[in-house]
Amino acid sequence: MARDTLDDTPIEGLDALVAYIAAGEKPAADFRIGTEHEKFAFNLADLSPVPYEGENGIGAILTALGEETGWEPINDQGRIIGLAGTEGGGAISIEPGGQFELSGAPLATLHETCVEANGHLVQVREIAEKLGIGFLGLGFCPTWTIDEAARMPKQRYDIMRAYMPKVGTRGLDMMHRTATIQVNLDFSTEADMVKKMRVGLALQPVATALFANSPFVEGVPNGLRSNRGEVWRDVDLQRSGPIPFAFEDGFGYERYVDWALDVPMYFVKRGDAYIEATGATFRQFMDGRFDKLPGERPTMGDWINHLSTLFPDVRLKRFLEMRGADAGPWGRICALPAFWVGLLYDDGILDQALAMCDELTAADRTVMWNRVPTDGLLTHVRGRTVAQIAREALALASEGLRRRARANGDLADERTFLTLLEDAAHSSRSPADELVDAYYGVWNRDIDKVFETNAF
């Protein structure tokens, strides 16, 4: 989320919280694709992380980008921390460790998504290279220790840094050493949201396996294919993970809201100040029991901000966020939305995908969530590998994209963006496997080579 809101509309009861999410419903003809992708900034001279401060820092990149694009700066205590695009044109933000993120505009086709991603990468690279900076597309930074990672100056992040070690062992790693690609997708009704949520949650480990691209930690392989996926297994299970209640009878907007109400808050924003709020839940705030604002009740802005601090594998706001993929090169930025759009944006294909997911038990989903970071596409679940499940899912996604028939030039549809994933599923090899082979082979164990092969 690029900017925390200050919407001071009073909340008129719990129904208003449900109504906020339900207001995201839209007809299928208006469905859009919003793609977000992160990348690590590094100094070309010595491959070190880029700090915020200085003439060649993250702040300087943002300032130069703002001047070139005309996008509006987003500030925190007088420091630029992001850019807001004009006329709904997306946003640029920085993650806690300096990961540079484009939150793409809501677009109608995957062709447009790829044009947007390419234009952003070209623009950022041109500015960054003048400052001696490059960008790396991996799910986990391959060489830096947690102490070496940069720290971005956002009040929200300061609160998270203090809180994370209290609720898990990997929260600081998640903040400072991981990067992802995710896609935001629409729903038409509550029933449509439920179907998409369940397919998304059941197949999120499949996406993690297909996109696994983080086999290195502090300079060497450590036996994992997705270090980013492994990190998320112990960040803060009060607010993250596969939220199994989504598969229970009666799941819908109200059940998600009920869960969100009992997750501890991170902060409450008043003016430019962020008030630390980790000792209270939103439900307590609703009841006037937040001690730092005695007797005060939350606003809609507080609710919107709180929803942005929940990190389940599929996050529900006024759209659904698919959150399971490692960051990667340009082709994979386009492949992630292709996978999910193909599965979720055609009603018939969505029903087939849901039927496929119904064959996976809760125990199966747990096995995949726990084992995929290590075993990737070779993870075994009930006599099948995740690669086999991926092939079935990709066949459905391909048919879904064929039915969409969104043409562009010589392309009759958007299926071309699935090619990298189809290759991975049929070979049972993710990008991580290729990286490890290169490390022990042509790189001759020189980890610095990863900055050459995976830089944008």
Chunked mean pLDDT (size 10), the chain, 456 residues = 74 96 98 98 98 97 94 95 87 97 97 95 94 97 98 97 98 98 98 98 98 98 98 97 97 98 97 96 97 95 98 98 95 96 98 98 98 98 97 98 97 98 98 98 98 94
Neighbours of 22 (CB within 10 A): 17
pLDDT computed for residue 5 by the predictor: 73
Residue 233 per-residue DSSP state? G
Q: Is residue 6 part of a domain?
A: no
Domain count of the chain? 1
Residue 225 CA to residue 216 CA, distance in Å, equals: 8
Q: Is residue 2 part of a domain?
A: no
Using a 10 angstrom Cβ sphere, with 0-12 exposed, 13-18 middle and 19 or more buried, the burial of residue 377 is buried
Pick from 73, 45, 77, 44: nearest CA to 60: 73
Q: Is residue 420 part of a domain?
A: yes
49 touches 149 (CB < 8 A)? yes
Neighbours of 75 (CB within 10 A): 12
pLDDT computed for residue 86 by the predictor: 81
33 is in which domain, residue-wise?
14-453
- CATH code (residue 71): 3.30.590.20
Residue 25 CA to residue 31 CA, distance in Å, equals: 9
pTM score of the predicted model? 0.97
Q: Which residues, 6 or more positions from 213, have their beta carbon under 8 angstroms from its beta carbon?
A: 137, 138, 139, 226, 326, 327, 328, 332, 430, 431, 432, 435
**What is the Cβ-side half-sphere exposure of residue 201, based on CA atoms within 13 angstroms?**
26
DSSP string over 334-366: HHHHHHHHHHHSSHHHHHHHHHHHHTS-HHHHH
pLDDT computed for residue 315 by the predictor: 98
Cα-based torsion angle of the residue sequence 65, 68, 74, 77 in order, rounded to the nearest 10 degrees: 70
Pick from 257, 250, 247: nearest CA to 197: 247
pLDDT computed for residue 223 by the predictor: 97
99 touches 111 (CB < 8 A)? no
Residue 273 CA to residue 269 CA, distance in Å, equals: 6
DSSP H helical ranges for 268-382: 282-286, 300-307, 330-344, 347-358, 362-375
Q: Is residue 36 part of a domain?
A: yes
pLDDT computed for residue 1 by the predictor: 46
Q: What's the angle, vertex CA 238, arms to CA 286 and CA 38, rounded to 5?
A: 105
